Amino acid sequence: MNSTVFGELVFNVGWKTETEISLFNNNYSVIIKAAAYFEKDGITANQEAAIVDFGDHKNERLKSVEKLLLTDFSEGDASKRFVPRTLLFQRNGSYALLFDDREDEDEGIAVCLQPEAKIVSQDEYL
């Protein structure tokens, strides 16, 4: 599917594409995923508004991610511990950046960006 907001998307348990982000002066390729159970569900207006919000405030949002990681994980090097994998847009327009945790491969974290900036476990977020 080609979305005017998301660009070219492929359906695989949600609509997916890729983008580049920069955190802690490192560049990462991450999956952008618009949550959907079925292909026929399409993308919601809330998801489109959320991706526009992220695009309009990308640098601010990524600085917020860095600050949250440094605050919540002041012990150790958060920039080496966490690897961003997916920017997930929920059907209601809330979104979070999901990270793998190199110290706990079974449990990643989600840095929620909207509606509230906070860090939770991926299990709690998903």
Residue 7's pLDDT band, with cuts at 50, 70 and 90, is confident
**Mean pLDDT of the region 78-103:** 95
User: What does the pLDDT look like over 38-88, one tens digit per residue?
Assistant: 999 999 999 999 999 999 999 999 999 999 999 888 777 888 899 999 999
Strand partners, 29: 20
The percent of residues above 90 in pLDDT, for the chain, comes to 76
Residue 32 has pLDDT above 80, yes or no: yes
pLDDT value of residue 106: 87
Packing angle, helices 45-56 and 58-72, rounded to 10: 80
Q: For residue 94, how many C-alpha atoms fall within 13 Å in the half-sphere facing its CB?
A: 11
Distance CA 85, CA 30 (A): 5
Sheet holding 95-101, edge to edge: 10-11, 15-23, 26-34, 82-89, 95-101, 109-114, 118-121
Residue 52 to residues 24, 37, 45, 108, 121: CA-CA distances in angstroms? 23, 22, 11, 26, 25
The percent of residues above 70 in pLDDT, for the chain, comes to 100
